[in-house]
Structure 1
Amino acid sequence: MTAAHGFEHLLRDLTPQVLNAVCRRFGDFALCEDAVQEALLAAALQWPKQGMPDNPKNWLITAASRRRIDLQRSDAARQQRENTAAILALPQPEPVPAVDDTLTLLMLCCHPELSEPAQLALTLRAVGGLTTAEIGRAFLVPEKTVSQRINRAKKRISASGAQFRMPPPEKQAARMSAVLQVLYLIFNEGYTASSGTSLNRVELTAEAIRLTRQLHAQVPHDGEVAGLLALMLLTDARRPARTRSDGSAVPLAEQDRSLWDSAAIAEGLELIGKTLASSRLGPYQIQAAIAAVHDEAARAEDTDWPQILGLYDLLLGIAPSPVAALNRIVAVAMVHGPAEGLRQLDGIAGDAALASHHRVDVVRAHLLDMAGEHEKARSYYRSAARRTLSVPEQRYLESRAAPENPASS
């Protein structure tokens, strides 16, 4: 990893911690978030040239606190005089307490006065540390749209008078749906990065799992929280087998399952087993059940595809989505044959939400390969490779498109 990438990863890890500390100190979210973003920019510019400070977190907290004072001043004539006095009087940042305020920050970002897209965008930046470009790719919307949503969201939070504190229990439930979706999006961006040279961004998957564990500890009887945690564990367990030595992606059917994390699988299976038996069924629980069927198969050919297809039918019945419908097509092909899969794929491929998604071409290529139409499959693999921004996925798809590929001959 280069020094520049090292700084980038460190700043991403520190973002929610620094924002928590500054919010605790000053109370208001919007100005604090602006101040932290400016401190992060200063660090990104200064540290590579001047070297990293001994305590990067305290450096950022101090810089953000000073900028927060600057932002609050409206009288330009007094600014220079008061700036010097404020900086001299500013106490050193207090040590970050043992209590983790990240969930408080997450709940604040999911304020009910915000639209769901605004909640997601704001939380992904403030808690997950994602850039506006990464958030845009997660939502399939332009980066400019994400920036506008974040700015509007901060203004709404300020206007509402919301403070940096956990909402009372009776108000937390209303924010839980957005919270779970945000955590899932953070996990997905880490598990399959939407761009870059690495397939996985472990810092994001680890943070999503950590936050979801905390949430599960606070609401242990919430079936969907338990389901989401189980889904993350059962999915992340496959990470050690998902890339080859050259960094290219390895599809599920070709993975060395002996490399899967058996402890994570066992924990995920126990979680989903308990919650399915005791809680009202929800989409995260169903997705976790699908992941469990995959993980319980010792070999790819042992996978219980009829059960997976039934679970996808159940999922689409309670939480329809284009992505779930696309994933279901693979199960259809495994149960009823590639011709039926291709027929059903034609029925959903025109969905506007899938129009720019390279996964449509990936699925079509895979089904064409299954049907023996290898030359057509290669053209769709090439098309998918051109459309993805993930280098590991590009390498895998280009290898599938190669004439010498044994799977396509």
Structure 2
Amino acid sequence: MFYANQVLGIALLLLIGYLGGHLARLCKMPSVTGYVLAGMLIGPSVFRILPRELGLELESVKVLGLGIIAMIIGGELEISRLKLLGKCIYWITPIQVVVTGFVVFAGMFWLGRMPLPHSLLLGAMATATAPATPVAIIREYRAKGPFTSTLMSIVAIDDAACIILFGLVSAVVAVMLNGTALSFSIVWHPFLELFGSALLGVGTALFLILLLRYVKDKQQRLVLLIGFIMLNSGIAQALSYSPLLTNMISGFFIANIYTRPSSLFAIFNDIELPIFILFFTLAGLSLHLDILVANWQLAILYVVVRSIGKVGGISLGAHIGGASQEVKKYLGFAMLSKAGVTIGLLLLVQSRFPGIASVITAVELAAVTVFEIVGPGITRYALFASGEAGQVSHPVEHSM
């Protein structure tokens, strides 16, 4: 491997990732696809230029990238804007979570012949949507409108719902595998994680808003934003809360309390391109083509049933909620990406259910590989089909 030190690794990730994004745009694909493919090509799955361990060494970069993405999503959830979207956002999430979870469970249990505990966990984990891809694609193509606002809102609510569902299913699986009684503490844990993340996010947001009253310089405000994102993530990790939800809730609170939230979040424009290139190129570096090849049959089945569940569930919820035709037809396709939250849930599976973790990890990592590669392009298609994606003349400079 052509890897001498971490600094050289970062340089290669930035430069090759940038080149991958540029080539992707020339091929009419999203930059994110180029970043992910570039990371995969230079990683151990293909040319073995950089080791997968570099991703562990640069964990702070991934934490920062996901934190920025989460705060941007929260910042889009202004209550006044949510009211304009109507009741559809309250119908779509619960219906798509139930439909996706059941379709994947049924497909893996009856078609894949997987044991009941495995199928239950895979069904719960299938409901998660990677927030990074929709945000990056939206910002690259400057998408704006009711469809885009609905997408951002559903992505935010979806991950919270996934964490709750996974916690409840984990409690049932623990009873099945260990023969123990279903205890209140096990069932309560996901709600505690959600409540703790919300409390932490609101607390740090209030403190940040207070400081911003005395700090007017743009660069100094950027320092505060980055510092609080990392503070949220660090405290959340220490308390076993969700860094993603914590930063999302901070962004939501700032968007609805601060006087000019749009100008505040616009400060991220100065740094997010290199951060996002590193984030997505590292994601590509972490992909496991070998696991995909070894488990291709189960992976294909999982990808198919999850896609059917997501698209069908969201469409059903949109019809019941009286959403627009664009939301009914295309929102499900914009939410197929799968990565960040899934990796966090896999760590929980490995710690709680070591006896069955290897099979679940193999299927999930194989599916993540597929969705990380094809997901950005499908999200791009959905945004253009909805009519809300703008044309960026110089995406290298202005994307993100």
Fold agreement, TM-score > 0.5: no
Larger Rg: 1
TM-score range, shorter chain: under 0.3
The structure with more helix, counted as a fraction of residues: 2
Give the TM-score taking structure 1 as reference length: 0.23
**Higher RCO, 1 vs 2 (CA within 8 Å, ≥6 residues apart):** 2
